[in-house]
């Protein structure tokens, strides 16, 4: 492989999640074909990011660590595009990138099946107590009693917060359960939801009507702690909440109070406000909380899809094209010129 100095443009992956989302191995060859180098780092500090990416045209971050802050972005003079390898891009200061004339892209079409499947799995586990009963059986117990509070899926109302690709796939996947599906998404009009059999509602109405709620919106200043004490006071008593989007969409202290009061029946969480979840977190050890460690997006297929999308976007930027999935489209009229 030629030395990086042989390339006019440099693409740098600054952080990724080992071992689930390590690069596929084809990235360097694909980038070399369009005249760019490909480098991989596991940065953990802003200083490491600046050192690794100081001359990069494209900077890619796979993890959700907030490493692309304003202070870092302002010290990346060659950057023309920042890519979040995932749907959410809250680890990038989009406003700072826009001010610098830098595009921000995500990869919203990857892991749609995996995350929607995982949300349904969490819901079913809360409802049918599979993981709790499995633990008991493996510990030598043979419960001869009702497994815990439960109910039928059929006839229940499922509320989806965020009707993007993942939220829509959840709605499609539960079609066989004959559920009523409602959704809240301020960016989706009713006419786009009607073909899926979904009724769009204000958030307050969704909270009041839903037996089960699953979250699939991005974390933004508007959605931070969207589900707080006031929201939990509105939920239908006995509701089950599922979150495999971002932990901070839910006020964790308010969630625990809702569980303790019995207003919330159970919660299935793939994401939490602090990750990794602290050993002393009050979420641990509860029979009414099902926890997984932010792995909903993973499958071998989704990993391959992810890096295919990344190299596609990188190649477009290196070759002077506007890539798919630009999230700050207002920057397109004032892009930083190519080096």
Residue 241: which of 123, 115, 112, 147 has the closest Cα? 123
Q: For the chain, how long is the longest CA-to-CA vector? A: 71
Annotated catalytic, 274?
no
Cβ neighbourhood burial of 63 (10 Å; 0-12, 13-18, 19+):
buried
- Tell me if residue 246 is catalytic: yes
Residue 289, helix vs strand vs coil: strand
Q: Rg of the chain's alpha carbons, rounded to an integer?
A: 22
Q: Which of 39, 40, 199, 275 is catalytic?
A: 275
- Beta-carbon contacts of 303 under 8 Å, excluding residues fewer than 6 positions away, are 20, 21, 24
From 246, 252, 273, 303, active-site residue: 246
Place of tokens 């009050």: 282
Beta-carbon-side half-sphere exposure of residue 142 (alpha carbons within 13 Å):
0
- Distances from the Cα of 188 to the Cα of 78, 183, 249, angstroms: 36, 9, 19
Closest CA to 214 of 198, 195, 192: 198
User: How many H-runs (helices) and E-runs (strands) does the chain carry?
Assistant: 12, 12
To the query of whether residue 208 is one of the catalytic residues in this protein, the response is no
* Residues annotated catalytic, as ranges: 246, 275, 294
């Amino acid at each position: 492989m030629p030395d990086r100095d042989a390339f006019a443009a440099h693409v740098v992956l600054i952080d990724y999640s080992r071992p689930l989302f390590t690069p596929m191995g084809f990235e360097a060859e694909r980038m070399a074909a369009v005249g760019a180098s490909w480098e991989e780092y596991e940065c953990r500090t802003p200083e490491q990011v600046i050192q690794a990416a100081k001359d990069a045209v494209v900077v890619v971050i796979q993890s959700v660590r907030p490493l692309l802050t304003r202070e870092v972005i302002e010290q990346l003079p060659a950057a023309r595009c920042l890519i979040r390898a995932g749907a959410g891009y809250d680890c990038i200061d989009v406003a700072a990138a826009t001010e610098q004339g830098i595009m921000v892209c995500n990869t919203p079409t990857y892991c749609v099946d995996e995350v929607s499947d995982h949300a349904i799995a969490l819901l079913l586990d809360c409802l049918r107590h599979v993981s709790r009963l499995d633990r008991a059986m493996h510990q030598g117990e043979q419960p001869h009693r009702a497994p815990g509070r439960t109910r039928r899926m059929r006839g229940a109302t499922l509320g989806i917060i965020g009707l993007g690709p993942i939220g829509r796939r959840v709605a499609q996947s539960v079609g066989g359960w004959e559920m009523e599906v409602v959704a809240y998404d301020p960016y989706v009009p009713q006419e786009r939801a009607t073909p899926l059999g979904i009724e769009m509602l204000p958030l307050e109405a969704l909270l009041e009507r839903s037996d089960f709620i699953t979250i699939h919106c991005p974390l933004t200043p508007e959605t931070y702690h969207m589900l707080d004490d006031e929201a939990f006071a509105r939920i239908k008593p006995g509701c089950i909440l599922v979150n495999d989007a971002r932990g901070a969409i839910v006020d964790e202290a308010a969630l625990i109070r809702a569980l303790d009061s019995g207003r919330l029946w159970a919660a299935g969480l793939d994401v939490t406000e602090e990750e990794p979840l602290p050993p002393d977190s009050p979420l641990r050890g509860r029979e009414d909380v099902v926890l997984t460690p932010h792995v909903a997006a993973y499958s071998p297929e989704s990993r391959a899809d992810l890096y295919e999308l990344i190299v596609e976007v990188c190649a477009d930027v290196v070759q002077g094209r506007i890539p798919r999935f630009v999230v700050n489209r207002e920057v397109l009229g004032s892009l930083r010129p190519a080096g």
